[in-house]
Chain A
Amino acid sequence: QVQLVQSGAEVKKPGASVKLSCRASGYTFSNYFLHWVRQAPGQGLEWVGIITPTTGDTTYAQRFQGRVTLTRDTSTSTVYMELSSLTSDDTAVYYCARENESCDYWGQGTLVTVSS
């Protein structure tokens, strides 16, 4: 069965960076784009970016340009999201999601807390 398993919760100080992982299984990793979406406490969903597993090509939401980097490791079917220059506004649950016409499978989410 399709699974997206994300790394554990993180606590970071303002100005730091965080790198999250999302390991895919149960399907052919190279066949589907992967998105990252975040959700601040009590708020809605916000798109961060997308990566093409075969080529590593990425597209980022404008508000994260210059601060986010998506990468992948095809040998382990894992995608990574690194977000730098963290502020308290980056406190959120970060999800990875597979695209199959739309986001049909989601990871369990990783809580990132930014606090001094």
Chain B
Amino acid sequence: QAGLAQPPSVSKALRQTATLTCTGNSNNVGYQGAAWLQQFQGHPPKLLSYRNNNRPSGISERFSASRSGNTASLTITGLQPEDEADYYCSAWDNSLSAWVFGRGTKLTVL
């Protein structure tokens, strides 16, 4: 099944801002928006935002999401060492009737 495109890695300095991107098409990201998940090694994913910029309770305001057309973005401000993780975008694909994921972006905080 088709997936979403994410850069494999992003590196940013401590306290800087990182923007992660996720590109799909009009049947997935462009249709209902994307969700973002954070995953640490050996742990299940954790939902950070859904339908572009809705944050579950308990998620820091440092994490914000947006969408422009078929590309979704996750912006993390004031980077902290604990933000080092893998970040996945996901979306329901209306044409495939399937949930699709990006391959993930490994964020390194320098």
Contact = CB atoms under 8 A, between A and B. Distances in A.
Contact of A61 (B1, B37, B47): B1
From DSSP, what is the main secondary structure of chain B's interface residues? strand
Given A44-B102, A45-B104, A59-B98, A108 B44 contact: yes
Interface residues of A, number: 21
Contact of A44 (B44, B47, B97, B103): B103
Interface in A17-54: 35, 37, 44-47, 50
A107 B96 contact: no
Nearest to B35: A102
Interface of B: 1, 35, 37, 39, 44-47, 50-51, 54, 56, 88, 90, 96-104
Interface of A: 35, 37, 44-47, 50, 59, 61-63, 95, 97, 101-104, 106-109
Q: Which 6 A-B pairs have the closest CB atoms?
A: A102-B50, A102-B35, A106-B44, A47-B99, A45-B101, A44-B103
